[in-house]
Amino acid sequence: MFSFRTTPLLEQEDRVLRKGRVGVLCNQVAWHPDTGEYLFETLARRGNLVRIFTPEHALYGPMVPGVETLEVETVIETEQLAGLDALVIELQDVGSRYSNYTTLLYNLFKRLKNDDSELSVFLIDRINPCGRQIEGTLGIIGLPHRHGLTLGEVANMFYSELGARFPLHIIAAGAEAVNRELMAWTIPPFSDFSGLFTSNFYSGQCLWMGTNVSYGHGTNRPFEQFGAPWMEPLFDYPAQHGLQGWNDPACPVAHPGLHIRWTRFEPSYGIYSGQVCFGFQLMFIPGAAYHALNHALQWLRFLHDNCPEFTVENLNRYLEDATLMNYVQGRLEWDDTREYIKAEEQKWMRKSKKYTLYGDEPYRIK
């Protein structure tokens, strides 16, 4: 049973919510301005909240006295759900399949389906900070790198494609004051998703996590800058190739949607902690068209061709695509790769129409 509801969670009259044993899966964004407290605090006052699930590194310690708190990463085990009549989910997704929250939701739905569970799931939907733009190719769980859906719409897709039968109820994003009054990144969904411009770069710059390049982790500009100690020799690349800087249209990594600045930074933690990294800051031009994944692929190929120290040992964990790996490693040209990505995006546009809940639809940059 699936339903899409346009009134707030606390106004729902379902008996499992009012009288049943309730669990909550949430992170730190589940703070509501209309109540001035976290969702689990509000539900706990009803007296039937028995368990809180929180993603890794989201919230710390006991949330409510007497209520069990469990930290989960990408899986909730069957026994951890035992005894629950309803599970309320409130997470701020970030519009990319890299997100652990997306994987957690998929694994949860798959488990409930395989267990023939009758657990009622209520998901409070939220605005996607990355908007409706899509990028990339379809991965293992059927989503492109940047999917353009809300978490509720992703849940709708998982539920349908898995053939699930447990009761799923999506609370519309517009039903809750938190979505009407706070911007989607006001409370960071995780520490490295720090603001508005993160959404412009995340679907591309996340790929550095599969390499030996820092994506700015441990700085105040994660995903907006990247580099490594061994990238210092790139400093004079433009001069050596007759270019007027990194933004010269003839430069292999120039992009009309942003400015590129040579920079240096020192991460306070993470890869290369305490070391000086040389690299680049990407500065988005407001209103300009920008395809973060395509640009990141061109950067990866550039480093592959120009930096012998560059490694991509874990990159396919994020790409999930042999064609894209072939391009990065010099076995395929960009024109062919771009046409392949275009075809995959068109495939996703057709597919995603079945799962949108709000009237507007995902789009691709042409």
**Is there a domain that residue 345 lies in?**
no
Pair 117, 214 in one domain: no
Give residue-wise pLDDT tens across range 102-137. Answer: 999 999 999 999 999 999 999 999 999 889 999 999
Residue from 240, 228, 318 nearest 267 by CA: 228
- Secondary structure (3-state) at 281: strand
Residue 246: the pLDDT is 98
In a domain, 265, yes or no: yes
Last residue of a domain, one of 148, 181, 214: 181
SS3 at position 91: coil
Assign residue 131 the CATH number of its domain: 3.40.50.12170
Q: For residue 176, what are the CA distances in angstroms to 5, 35, 37?
A: 11, 11, 14
* pLDDT reported for residue 135: 97
Do 105 and 217 lie in one domain? The reply is no
Q: Exposed, middle or buried: residue 279 (CB in 10 Å: 0-12, 13-18, 19+)?
A: buried
139 & 211 share domain: no
Among residues 177, 167, 95, 172, the alpha carbon closest in space to that of 129 is found at 95
Q: Assess if residue 219 is contained within a domain.
A: yes
Does residue 45 sit in the same domain as residue 155?
yes
Residues 88 and 21 grouped into a single domain: yes
Structural domains in the chain (count): 2
User: Cα dist. 296→75, 287, 300, 335 in Å?
Assistant: 29, 19, 6, 15
- 175 three-state secondary structure: helix
Q: Do 46 and 148 belong to one domain?
A: yes
- Pick out the chain residues at pLDDT < 70: 57-58, 60-62
Residues 62 and 211 in one domain: no
Asked whether residue 192 is domain-assigned, the answer is no
The last residue of one of the domains, among 135, 151, 181, is 181
- Which bin fits 143, alpha (ψ -120 to 50), beta or left (φ > 0)? beta
Neighbours of 214 (CB within 10 A): 26
Q: Are residues 177 and 292 in the same domain?
A: no
End of a domain among 181, 209, 226?
181
- Residue 342 lies inside a defined structural domain of this protein: no
Structure confidence at residue 57 (pLDDT): 65
Task: Indicate whether 240 belongs to any domain.
Answer: yes
In a domain, 188, yes or no: no
- Quick count: other Cβ atoms within 10 Å of Cβ 148? 25
pLDDT value for 58: 66
Query: What CATH number is attached to the domain comprising 210?
Result: 3.90.1150
Say what the pLDDT of residue 61 is: 55
Question: What does pTM read for this prediction?
Answer: 0.93
The closest of 118, 171, 164 to 3, measured between CA atoms, is: 171
On whether both 163 and 253 belong to a single domain, the answer is: no
Closest CA to 52 of 28, 78, 16, 22: 22
Residues of the domain holding 172: 2-181
Q: 168 and 45 in one domain?
A: yes
**Does some domain include residue 243?**
yes
Beta strands in the chain (DSSP E): 2-5, 22-26, 31-32, 37-38, 49-55, 68-72, 86-90, 120-124, 168-171, 225-228, 258-265, 277-284
Considering the domain architecture, whether residues 141 and 209 belong to the same structural domain is answered as no
pLDDT on residue 30? 92
Q: How far is CA 360 from CA 93, 154, 349, in A?
A: 18, 15, 12
Residues 78 and 205 in one domain: no
